[in-house]
Structure 1
Amino acid sequence: MDPEISRPPFSRAWVEGKLLAAGALNGLNEEAADTLLVQVNTGLRPSEVLLCPLEDFCLDDEIPFIRVAAHGRELKQRHTARDIPLLGVSLAAARRIVARGGIQRYRDKSNAWSSLVNKFLDAHGLKETPQHSAYSLRHYVEDALLEAGVDDRVRADILGHKYDRPSYGAGGGLLGRRQALAKISI
């Protein structure tokens, strides 16, 4: 099943009321939980977080961000390389990841991470429907940005999607992406 096509988005009410409820992720190991939380305000693919080396968590910059880069592996597409601002619960989770020395347990093990997290979500009633998965957070971010009126180009830049129009300029850069994500940040 292709997660890009088949997974429904979580609703904002579900993310806020269930996934981010106090104690909702208790029992999930810290690295797995924090990886999930990084996705909440970024729409990053789990593999993009799990393959990120410590030095690409750029938390001391004026706009804290995570860098998605090849790092010796082939990116899904050229436009997948990007810098994504970190805000809210995602920034807090990234800080905890960095404090622990980066991704270790699930580094280059996104299938193991997905299996664990999806079983956890299912066992703890954290799937909005049976079709939902951790990947549904990516779809949630896309829908939330659309509902917030964020331009197609900026949404594509945030999610690492192909943009079918000629790209002129930097598309707002890190500041523009931060302003867009601030509209939906939890």
Structure 2
Amino acid sequence: MIRVFVIKHVRLEKNGTYKYRRRVPKPLQPVLRKAEIVKVLGRTEREALVAYGPYHDHVERLLRSTRPHDEATELAAIRRSIEAQFQELKLDPYSPGRTPEERFARAEEADRILNRYDPNPETGTPDAEDVSPKDGAMVTALLGGISDVKAELTITQAFNFYRIERREPDDYKRKKHEQRLDRIMNDLLRVTGQDIPMSKVGRQHARTLRDNLLKRGMQATSARHCINDVKAVFSLAIREHDLDTSNPFQRLEFPKAQVAAVELRLPLPPDVILAMYKELAGTQLLLDIWTLLHHSGAQNAEVLGLLASDLDLDGPVPHFVVRPNALRSLKTRSRIRSVPLVGPALIVARRLKEATTPDAPLFPRYAATKSHDNFSQVARRRLRMVTTEPKHTIYSLRHNMKDALRSAKVGERVELALLGHSDERTASAQYGSAVSLGELQAALLEVKFDVPEEWS
């Protein structure tokens, strides 16, 4: 199977390089002194994928400066546009200029902008209120750097800034993330009544937003997730824009959950696991995925997103690698890990490796992020054929693995490494070597997996 590398504004040149090419809108061509933005992103597809996101975001900010900004409330957007312009023109955005020549040229440009306005007869210069926000900000940035441009972010600007800075590389995940942000942003705007500056959002607004979510019938856990999104938006804006304000969404209280988190899903009993193997026996694709999930404790997305190149079966410890690739990103760096393959999972992996071309997905039907929900729905229906307990899910297999590792007394350090859980917040976790593949393999070999007799 041949994958075609298609990303907006990126072309594969005849010399083998991946190049970003984008036409500059006519209103901005005199400013940037070019009709097209061109940059080499790399010589391999992987290099281009890594470089694309940050550079595309930079160009988006640059071109956004062509839009009119007539209101002072949009000063933050103006400042970001100026920063992008300065970077493109190789000017230092954070000072009056690196050299005497640059400072002189910037002063001349500032004079040229101000000369478009009628001067005050007493001062010989235009009054500040007569200069448009965009021109005033540009003059300030030219003469002192963008840090001198004082910008008060509004709620919508803070959310837009967060979308850019926390841009999810996967199209499907990005769409879902932005939809979630839009919903909670609109909920907050209904509380405040209008798009007010962030500094005007207070604790009462935060409590009202929380109460509105709960009154709507949202579970406390879901409401907390929504508030955490807003808290993250405010924290990033406050930090990156040097705002002298506190985050009103910090340490907001929620009703205590009636059910412990560990009870939201239950491990699958042995008879359910064996019945599921029997249920899937006639569907090789689902049986292969189930087997890998069962014997690794990995998440659905981690297995569904595997490429053939993620399988390393020739070394002393056959394993698969969970890492970002062309199909998916990872939520945290602790998810990046190697998982040994043992028993039936190794048999499945060897067969899949032989049948799949390098760098192709092992499960093309469900490989794309947007197809993961399709797998979940299909697998859930099949699981309901063998158990009606609502707390039994495919994700329960991770609970099974956690229990099995505890029973095998392999130690928490090995448990965390196998399941991709982070322990970096503790001081002791910062010392010593990482868990070796050999240790992980030995731990899995201690686990007694419930599989059909003929597989034993």
Q: Scaled by the length of structure 2, what TM-score is found?
A: 0.37
Cα distance in structure 1, aligned partners of 2:335 and 2:388:
28
Given the alignment, which residue of 267, 292, 312 partners 1:9?
A: 267
What is the SS of the residue equivalent to 2:339? strand
Q: CA deviation at 1:128?
A: 7.1
Q: CA deviation at 1:171?
A: 3.5
Q: CA RMSD in A?
A: 2.2
Match of 1:18 in 2: 275
Q: Give 1:173's aligned amino acid.
A: S
Higher Cα Rg, which structure:
2
State the Cα deviation string for residues 8-33 of structure 1 (Å, max 9, x = none). Answer: 11134543x4334xx331343x2222
Match of 1:116 in 2: 378
Does 2:138 match 1:138? Answer: no
The answer to whether the 8 A contact 1:58-1:64 is kept is yes
Given the alignment, which residue of 437, 444, 449 partners 1:174?
A: 437
Given the alignment, which residue of 80, 84, 98 partners 2:339?
A: 84
The answer to whether the 8 A contact 2:322-2:338 is kept is yes
Cα distance in structure 2, aligned partners of 1:167 and 1:66:
25
State the Cα deviation string for residues 28-74 of structure 1 (Å, max 9, x = none). Answer: 3x222211110112101011011111111112221110100011543
State the Cα deviation string for residues 125-154 of structure 1 (Å, max 9, x = none). Answer: 1x3733201111111001110111121111
Flag the 1:182–1:12 CA change in 2: closer, same or farther, 3 A.
farther
Structure 2: runs of 5 or more not aligned: 1-220, 223-260, 357-361, 450-456
The answer to whether the 8 A contact 1:54-1:103 is kept is no
Does 2:330 match 1:75? Answer: yes
Cα distance in structure 2, aligned partners of 1:92 and 1:19:
19
Match of 2:14 in 1: none
Given the alignment, which residue of 330, 347, 352 partners 1:97?
A: 352
Cα distance in structure 2, aligned partners of 1:94 and 1:47:
17
Cα distance in structure 2, aligned partners of 1:49 and 1:132:
19
Match of 1:160 in 2: 420
Runs (4+) of structure 1 moved beyond 4 Å? none
Flag the 1:128–1:141 CA change in 2: closer, same or farther, 3 A.
farther
Q: CA deviation at 1:80?
A: 0.4
Match of 2:318 in 1: 64
Flag the 1:167–1:90 CA change in 2: closer, same or farther, 3 A.
farther
Flag the 1:104–1:111 CA change in 2: closer, same or farther, 3 A.
same
Cα distance in structure 2, aligned partners of 1:7 and 1:94:
28
Cα distance in structure 2, aligned partners of 1:132 and 1:60:
36
After alignment, is 128-137 or 36-45 more displaced? 128-137
The answer to whether the 8 A contact 2:291-2:344 is kept is yes
Does 2:405 match 1:149? Answer: no
Given the alignment, which residue of 282, 289, 292 partners 1:38?
A: 292
Cα distance in structure 1, aligned partners of 2:379 and 2:317:
29
Cα distance in structure 2, aligned partners of 1:149 and 1:13:
24
Q: CA deviation at 1:185?
A: 4.6
Match of 2:174 in 1: none
The answer to whether the 8 A contact 1:81-1:160 is kept is yes
The percent of aligned pairs where both chains have the same amino acid is 29
Q: Scaled by the length of structure 1, what TM-score is found?
A: 0.86
The answer to whether the 8 A contact 2:413-2:435 is kept is no
The answer to whether the 8 A contact 1:35-1:93 is kept is no
Q: Give 1:143's aligned amino acid.
A: D
The answer to whether the 8 A contact 2:339-2:418 is kept is yes
Cα distance in structure 1, aligned partners of 2:388 and 2:352:
27
Flag the 1:13–1:120 CA change in 2: closer, same or farther, 3 A.
closer
Cα distance in structure 2, aligned partners of 1:148 and 1:82:
21
State the Cα deviation string for residues 85-117 of structure 1 (Å, max 9, x = none). Answer: 000122122223323312211112221111101
Flag the 1:167–1:18 CA change in 2: closer, same or farther, 3 A.
farther
